[in-house]
Structure 1
Amino acid sequence: MPEPPLSPPPSLWQLFYNFAWVGLCGFGGVLPWARQMMVDRRRWVTEAAFNELLTTGQFFPGPNIANVGIIYGRRLHGLPGAALAVFGLYLFPSLITVLAGFAYAKWWSHTVVQQVFGAVMPIATGLMLGTTLRLLKAMPRTVANYSAFVLTFVLMAVWVLPLWIVLLVCIPCSLALSYIPGKKAPS
């Protein structure tokens, strides 16, 4: 089934507004919200294009989704687009974090407050896992891609190596794997 056509590129205001909305809704992490906004709701990019933006954003220092906003905003509207996407993304979380800091200092000793924060953890984990599964679904199904994914997972989750070491190992391995004739992985 073919994907529906993409929407027209967003204006500067739409870029700011939608990234601000992602920042406001993105409790526990904005990756699931940004992906849903850019791919599903607004149809600004395809699933594959979002994966490419995210992959590029992960390569650079800083938060991945901020990097996605910078790359996408700059691609469409130059420096103003990059700045407005990031400003929108951080506007509400910054305000909320400052206010939460005051509240934390005043009310953290209350058991109910601690229970609420404990209840949010599995929800944030579920959001991240759901997004990971959607990213995997859109990844081309080749032995090379699955091998690079498993290697990265083992280095990060099992051996708990720092990100810079994982990148230092995985990028050359992924490049080498990409030169293996493109066998399709079993579905």
Structure 2
Amino acid sequence: MNFSSPLTALFPGASGRTVTALSAHRETAGSAALSVEALARESSVAATQLESVLFRLGLLGMVEPRRRGAEVRVVAGHLVWDAVGQLTDLRGRLADEVRDRAAAELDPAPVHLALLGKVAEGTAAHPADLLEIVAVPPAGAPADWRPRLDAFAERLSRDLGNLVAVHLADTPDDARRAHGTGIVVIDGTAGQLP
């Protein structure tokens, strides 16, 4: 999965780059006007191509009606923009997903679970980019806990489209010393959220 620019990976070309730029504009400026020139710069799309994409977005109601060359205003409350926003913030969704799945699939829960690597950083652009999981098993973990953790990582790898590597540590401090902080999704006593 391409976590650095998921929309352009899913929708290559002018449309994906334009929607990515408009989504970022919506997040920072709401429905404030944006010139075609500024949008062309932000999206790296030629103004002539941009007009074609904006026409289609206008038909969907995602941008306000406009004449060719006029400023662009997103319809900030449009239902689709929230869905687009979820695609552009995969890093935040990743932490929530791993936390929820770990709670459901790893019983007892790890004492500490952190995410590292390009996927966790949101910079992954290729399936070879890793998501690293650093886990501290619970005290008295059953003998099959590590194989269940490996199976969890394998399912997560398939669902993300990126390889998931697992590292174990004896304590949360050992995990931080050996691997860094990363995104901590479980910390403290078994099952406690950060």
TM over 0.5: no
TM-score range, shorter chain: under 0.3
More strand by share: 2
Compare CA radii of gyration and give the structure with the larger one.
2
More helix by share: 1
Q: TM-score normalized by structure 2?
A: 0.24
Q: TM-score normalized by structure 1?
A: 0.25
